Amino acid sequence: MQLFWEILVNGFIVSSIYALGAMGFSLIFGTAGILNLAHGAYLVLAAIVAWFFISYFKLPLPAGLAIGILASVLFSYLLFFLLVNPIDKSKRIPEEEKAIFVLTATLLWSIIIEGMLDYVFGSTPVVIPPFVSGSMHVFEISVTYNMIILAMISLLIIGLLWFAINRTRPGKMLLAASMSRTGVAIMGIELKRVYLLLWGIYGILAGISGVLLAAFLGASARAAPELTGMAFSIVVLGGLGSITGSFFASYIIGYLGTLTAYLISPSYTPLPAFFVLVVILLLRPQGLFGRF
């Protein structure tokens, strides 16, 4: 019975963090039509940078986390300005081939970030110090207050994102761009402003998700491809571009990974996500909820 409660609690926490990371991945695809294969690299970048400033410069935890998240935002904008936007504006690349060029660019950008992090910091996983200390007994198991805080932060930010997209003018601008970029341009809204907002929000979501994940499971540069694959599996299962679908799919993938870690081996945690990805692409490529 204790094992059941451990799987239930730990699965909920890791799924909540996965859901936060998947929100950004899904938002980028839904609005800009880009599958960002550098997603996992942004998560580990934010985590490792935050850990470095906290551990070596002895900065307070909030300051170190903020620097890690800012690093994710900075590299998010670098990807947009150095690769995505030039490819999109290029007259030498045929329109029908630009999506492939952007996809390849994000993959290469991911390799660059992973290589840089591996060279500077090594491949040993790092763990961000707990936000709070102490624990409590719930359902016959010990649950740290830090685990509860991580899940609460993830769900709070997801709720704020939903509110921003559906109830604020900038959010509705992103929603409109996801439906028709031409329509947004006709309305007099400059698309570059939309993309600046989009990539900024994406960097923040990826950065927060990365530092939360490192505070729970740890992070290393070599985990980036695995995290990208997990996020891709989540958004495909939920429906590419569907925020709601990604949220619920995160819990399916998160619990499948947790069950695998407890019942088989932690080394095989990502395998159920990739198996689900193959099955959903074959049987229901539109995902559970379709596109938002």
| CA end-to-end distance (rounded Å), the chain | 39
Judge whether 292 lies within some domain.
Answer: no
Judge whether 6 lies within some domain.
Answer: yes
| Structural domain boundaries enclosing 184 | 2-283
Judge whether 40 lies within some domain.
Answer: yes
Single-letter amino acid code for the residue at 164: A
Q: Tell me what the pLDDT averaged over the chain comes to.
A: 91
Residue pLDDT, tens place only, 37-96:
999 999 999 999 999 999 999 999 999 999 999 999 999 999 999 999 999 999 999 989
d(CA 232, CA 226): 10
Judge whether 167 lies within some domain.
Answer: yes
Chain mean position to CA 285 = 21
Q: Angle at the Cα of 172 (from 40 to 37), degrees rounded to 5?
A: 15
Judge whether 291 lies within some domain.
Answer: no
The domain tally of the chain equals 1
| pLDDT score, position 175 | 78
Spans in the chain with pLDDT lower than 70: 180, 182-186, 290-292
| pLDDT score, position 183 | 66
d(CA 215, CA 112): 24
| pLDDT score, position 240 | 80
Judge whether 289 lies within some domain.
Answer: no
| pLDDT score, position 37 | 95
Q: Which residues of 15-48 are buried (b: 16+ CB within 10 A; e: fewer)?
A: bbbbbbbbbbbbbbbbbbebbbbbbbbbbbbbbb
Report the CATH number at residue 175.
1.10.3470
Tokens at residue 32, please?
């800009």
| pLDDT score, position 290 | 66
